[in-house]
Amino acid sequence: MDILALLNDKEFLGREFLTWLWFKSETQDGQFALEDSKQVLLWFDDKVVLQSDGDEIVSCQGENSALTEARHALRDGKKVTQAKIKLIVGENDWSFSLDSTWLNLKSLKTPKVMLDTREDPEGLFYEKVFLLDTPISAIEQLFIQFLKIRISSDWDKKEAPGIRHWIQKAV
């Protein structure tokens, strides 16, 4: 099986991951624990893109009212394909879009680097690399958490019913 066929076959996992991430961020007040005992805050910011099986695309952008519209689209059977996410680790925050197909980060905005380049010119480079690696690592760890739940019996017993209930109570 070539890579594109495999990707098409497993594409649902990315959409389910984004839906799970949205659900967890709302039901856990945005708080997630990563494997290295780091606590992060993550929430869907101001844009969510959803798509139906018939390729109809719904893009909801704006404040909380847009997310309510996106939840209605979820209730109507559309799947999350992209979301703008805000991530806070310690005192630093990032903003990026995450898509469901490749799980790649787009439009990544990192915290500002506050180093004196005259004293440590290489330090700026390494600090920026660290700031790029942090959100990627966080999303990878959250995806692994999702996959562990997804393949466990907890998915059908607890998680999926919780997500369905959360979707149905969209205001």
Res. 87: pLDDT tops 90: yes
Whole-prediction pTM value? 0.90
Structure tokens at 80: 């999350």
Q: What is the pLDDT of residue 64?
A: 67
The rounded distance, in Å, linking the Cα atoms of 88 and 95 is 9
Q: Where are the beta strands (DSSP E) in 10-150?
A: 31-33, 39-51, 57-61, 79-89, 92-99, 105-109
- Write the DSSP symbol of residue 2: -
How many Cβ atoms are within 10 Å of 58's Cβ, its own excluded?
A: 17
Share of the chain above pLDDT 70, in %: 95
**Domain range for residue 81?**
3-168
Residues 6+ apart with CB under 8 A from 100: 11, 14, 15, 17, 18, 79, 80, 81, 82
Question: Do 97 and 47 touch, CB atoms closer than 8 A?
Answer: yes
**Count of the separate structural domains present in the chain:** 1
Model confidence over 105-132: pLDDT tens digits? 999 999 987 766 677 778 778 888 889 9
- E strand or H helix at 67, and its extent? helix 64-75
* Cβ within 8 Å of residue 108, ≥6 positions away: 94, 95, 96, 132, 135
For CA atoms 16, 17, 22, 28, the dihedral sign is: positive
